[in-house]
Amino acid sequence: MAKVIVLKGDERSAAKSINELFRLAGGIGSFIKKGDKVLLKPNFLNPKPSSTGCTTSPAVIEAVVKAVLKQGGIPIIGESSPVSFDTELTFKRLGIDKIARKHRISIIDLNKYTSRVVKVKDPLSLKKIRVSDLVFEVDKIINLPVMKTHSLTTISLGMKNLMGCVPGADKLVLHRVGMHEALVDLNSIIKPTFTIIDAIVAMEGSGPANGKPKRMGLLIGSGDLLASEIIGARIMGANPYQLKYIQLSKGKELGEYDIDKIEVFGEKLSDVKRKFSLPSSKASSIFSSLVLGTVPLAMSRMGIDISRIAQKLYDFMRPYPEFLDRCRKCRRCIINCPEKALTLNSHPKPLLDKKKCIKCYVCDEVCIYNCVRVRRK
Ligand code: SF4
Ligand code: SF4
C-alpha cells in the first residue's frame, strides 16, 4: 500500500507538522541519509507571497530545511521561474535568501545553472527534454508544490511543479507538444524522493497565477508522487481519474494509481475535502466526464477508440485568451507565448493571432497583473 499523510498545519506550526508528517511516513531517515545532497523544489511561479496561494510558504521551506539539516543532509533550494521573471529577485522578495543565509545553505536559480538534454524512455510526446544538471547532481529531491487550480491541467500539484526543473524557454516546449503527455514524460525523468503539498493557503479559480487564495490549513506528504497527486485531487473535490495527465500516468511507474491501494494517515479525507471553484476555461464536469471520461472509456471497452476525436472536440471548445484594457504592456505574455501568437507594437494590449494560438494559457500564467481572461462563453 502507498502511504499519504494529510495533516493540519499553518505557517506558525509548519515545523511541527513537517516533523510529524515525516514521522508518520516512516521517519525522515527512510528518505534522507546523512551526507545526502537534497534539492528542495518549491513553486515560485512569480514573486507573489504565499498568502495569495501562488507560491510555496517560506515557513514550509524553512521547516523542511531544518528537518534535512537535522538528519545530516545538505539542503539546496532550486527553482527556475518562467522567462521574464527573475528567480533571484523572487528568492529575495519571498525571503528565501534570508532563510539560506540563516542556515548557510545554497539557493540556485536553475535558469542560470547548467543543464543537459535527457532522452525520455517510451515517451508519450517528448522524445527529449532539457533538464537542470542539479537534478542529477543531488542525491534526493523533496518536491514542494502548492495546491492550485490550473487553466490547462485543471489542478496543479507535485507533477506540474517539477516543470521548474526545466530551465528557461525550454519549459515552453512542454506546452507545444501537449501538456498532459509532456508532464508524464517529464515525471518519468525526475523522480522526487518525497513530495509535500503546501495546502496551507491553496488557490482556486483562475489558477495557477491569478486565482483566489483558499485557506485549507493542510500539508500533504508522501514518498509516492502519484499517490499524493491522487489524494490532493480528491481533497480539491476533483475526480483524479477524469484528469488526463493522471489517466496517462497509469503504468508509467510514477507511483500508485489505484486509490484502493493508497492508505491515508492523519486527517480523514471526508473531513478536509473542499469544493474548489475551477478556472473559467474549464468545461463543466459533466461535459468533461462525457467527452474525456465515461463515454470514451465505455467505447474503448467495446474496442472502439474515440479518445483522439474526443480530445479534439474538447480542445475546439476551449476558449481563446482575451486581453483586458488594463494591460500594463509589460510584454511577459508576448515573450513567453510558445507559438509567437501575440504582438503588441503600438497597441494598448496584446493582439492575438488565433491561427497560431494553441490555447496553452501560458499568457495567463505569466501575467501578474491579471489582465488575461480565459473564459468559456
Ligand atoms: S496582458 Fe499582462 S503579461 Fe501581457 S503585456 Fe499586458 S500586463 Fe503584461
Ligand atoms: S496566446 Fe496565450 S494561449 Fe495562445 S499560444 Fe500564446 S500563450 Fe498560449
Let me know whether 344 and 261 are in one domain: no
Let me know whether 291 and 261 are in one domain: no
**H or E element at residue 147:** strand 146-150
- What is the separation of C-alpha 350 from the centre of its chain, rounded to a whole number of angstroms? 27
How confident is the model over 288-298, as pLDDT tens digits? Answer: 555 555 566 56
CA 114 to CA 60: how far, in whole Å?
27
Asked whether residue 192 is assigned to any structural domain, the reply reads yes
Domain of residue 114: give its range.
2-272
* Per-chain mean pLDDT for the chain: 93
- The preferred substitution site among 358, 364, 366, 372 for testing ligand 2, maximizing ligand atoms within 8 Å of CB, is 358
Asked whether residue 280 is assigned to any structural domain, the reply reads no
327: Cβ below 6 Å to ligand 1?
yes
321: Cβ below 6 Å to ligand 1?
no
CA of 159 relative to ligand 2 center, distance in Å: 22
By the 8 A CB rule, do 204 and 214 touch? yes
> What confidence category does residue 92 fall into, taking pLDDT thresholds of 50, 70 and 90?
very high
Please report the pLDDT score of residue 11 as a whole number.
97
Q: For residue 254, what is its C-alpha cell?
A: 510514477
Mean per-residue pLDDT, 105-116: 98
Let me know whether 289 and 264 are in one domain: no
Q: For residue 375, what is its C-alpha cell?
A: 473564459
Mean per-residue pLDDT, 61-65: 98
Query: Partners of 109 in the beta sheet?
Result: 79
Residue 315 reports pLDDT greater than 90: no
Cα-Cα-Cα-Cα dihedral sign, residues 324, 328, 332, 335? positive
Asked whether residue 279 is assigned to any structural domain, the reply reads no
Domain at 154, CATH number:
3.40.50.11440
Let me know whether 252 and 310 are in one domain: no
Let me know whether 108 and 241 are in one domain: yes
**H or E element at residue 184:** helix 179-187
Asked whether residue 149 is assigned to any structural domain, the reply reads yes
Q: Write down which residue in 246, 272, 298 finishes a domain.
A: 272
Q: Write down which residue in 240, 272, 304 finishes a domain.
A: 272
Percentage of the chain exceeding pLDDT 70: 92
Q: Report CA-CA distances (Å) from 178 to 103, 154, 173, 264, 334.
A: 40, 14, 9, 32, 20
Percentage of the chain exceeding pLDDT 90: 86
Nearest residue by C-alpha to atom 6 in ligand 1: 327
Q: For residue 282, what is its C-alpha cell?
A: 474549464
Domain at 349, CATH number:
3.30.70.20
In three-state secondary structure terms, 371 is coil
> What confidence category does residue 205 fall into, taking pLDDT thresholds of 50, 70 and 90?
very high
Let me know whether 232 and 312 are in one domain: no
Please report the pLDDT score of residue 280 as a whole number.
76
Let me know whether 261 and 192 are in one domain: yes
For the entire predicted model, the pTM comes to 0.91
- Point out the ligand nearest to the CA of residue 334: 1
> What confidence category does residue 312 fall into, taking pLDDT thresholds of 50, 70 and 90?
confident
359: Cβ below 6 Å to ligand 2?
yes
Let me know whether 210 and 163 are in one domain: yes
Q: Report CA-CA distances (Å) from 156 to 34, 118, 295.
A: 32, 24, 25
Please report the pLDDT score of residue 369 as a whole number.
94
Q: Report CA-CA distances (Å) from 37 to 233, 272, 302, 353.
A: 30, 34, 50, 46
Residue 215 reports pLDDT greater than 90: yes
- Three-state SS string over 54-79 comes to CCCCHHHHHHHHHHHHHCCCEEEEEE
- The preferred substitution site among 83, 354, 361 for testing ligand 2, maximizing ligand atoms within 8 Å of CB, is 361
Let me know whether 165 and 62 are in one domain: yes
Mean per-residue pLDDT, 212-235: 98
Residue 271 reports pLDDT greater than 90: yes
Asked whether residue 216 is assigned to any structural domain, the reply reads yes
Q: Write down which residue in 242, 272, 302 finishes a domain.
A: 272
Mean per-residue pLDDT, 273-302: 67
Cis bond leading into 208, ω under 30°? yes
Counting the structural domains of the chain, the total is 2
How confident is the model over 131-188, as pLDDT tens digits? Answer: 999 999 999 999 999 999 999 999 999 999 999 999 999 999 999 899 999 999 999 9
118: Cβ contacts below 8 Å, ≥ 6 apart: 128, 129, 130, 131, 189
Asked whether residue 169 is assigned to any structural domain, the reply reads yes
Asked whether residue 121 is assigned to any structural domain, the reply reads yes
Residue 39 reports pLDDT greater than 90: yes
Nearest residue by C-alpha to atom 4 in ligand 2: 357
By the 8 A CB rule, do 221 and 198 touch? no
Let me know whether 359 and 233 are in one domain: no
> What confidence category does residue 309 fall into, taking pLDDT thresholds of 50, 70 and 90?
confident
Let me know whether 344 and 225 are in one domain: no
Asked whether residue 250 is assigned to any structural domain, the reply reads yes
Let me know whether 289 and 268 are in one domain: no
How confident is the model over 50-59, as pLDDT tens digits? Answer: 999 999 999 9
